[in-house]
Amino acid sequence: MVIGDTPDALEAVLGDGVAIAIWARPPLPDVGRALHRLAHGDAFDIVAEGTIEHVVATTLARLPQPVPTALADDIAALAQRFDAIGATGGAVRVRLRRITGPACRRWHTDVVRLRLLCTYMGAPTQWLPLPGGALAARRLEDGSLPCAPRAVPRGAVAVMKGEGFAPGRGCIHRSPPAASADDPRLLLSFDEPGRFPPP
């Protein structure tokens, strides 16, 4: 793991032996009320793929309510940051969703090369500082973990290696225990395009 207080820390994920890089920024200022309204409003799960301009505009248009400029700008800035780190040629795949039930509860690694995650609201993503990637993840049981889970702080940004980067080097992680209507999650993620069927 590499962690830093500037966005440049995220580039460290490309280094040997680094499975996850975290930009430990504080939650966005002045958007708390908007995030609360989104989290406690209508359900949504938005997926878009294409140029950064396209995916940001599509995401904002599909949200059930308007959001502050600061949040829209943050989504665009994180898309650009992911494109720069992953060298995706100006195109990305975005997913922004409100989660109130079980998500990826089992320990796993992603099939993508890199994935950017930011939990805007709710319980954050958990990860394990273990080598071995997907094969090691499949052997894990909650009652007998070899180390304590860690969490990406709410509002922080993480870029994780997946098995597409190099087999056995993916970051082992999972969603936190199931969210509820009283404590929903708002999760933003970016992947390289072309890895999944078009939405």
Alpha-carbon distance of 176 to 44, in angstroms, equals 19
CA distances from 75 to 29, 71, 94, 120 (A): 14, 6, 9, 11
Calpha distance 20→159 (Å, rounded): 6
Strand ranges (E), the chain: 2-4, 20-23, 45-51, 91-99, 114-121, 126-128, 150-151, 157-161, 172-174, 185-191
Domains of the chain: 2-189 (2.60.120)
List pLDDT tens digits, range 133-155.
Answer: 899 888 887 667 888 889 999 99
Query: What one-letter code names the amino acid at 194?
Result: G
Low pLDDT (below 70) residues in the chain: 102-104, 142-143, 178-181, 197-199
Quick: pLDDT tens for 14-33: 999 999 999 999 888 889 99
pLDDT at 30: 85
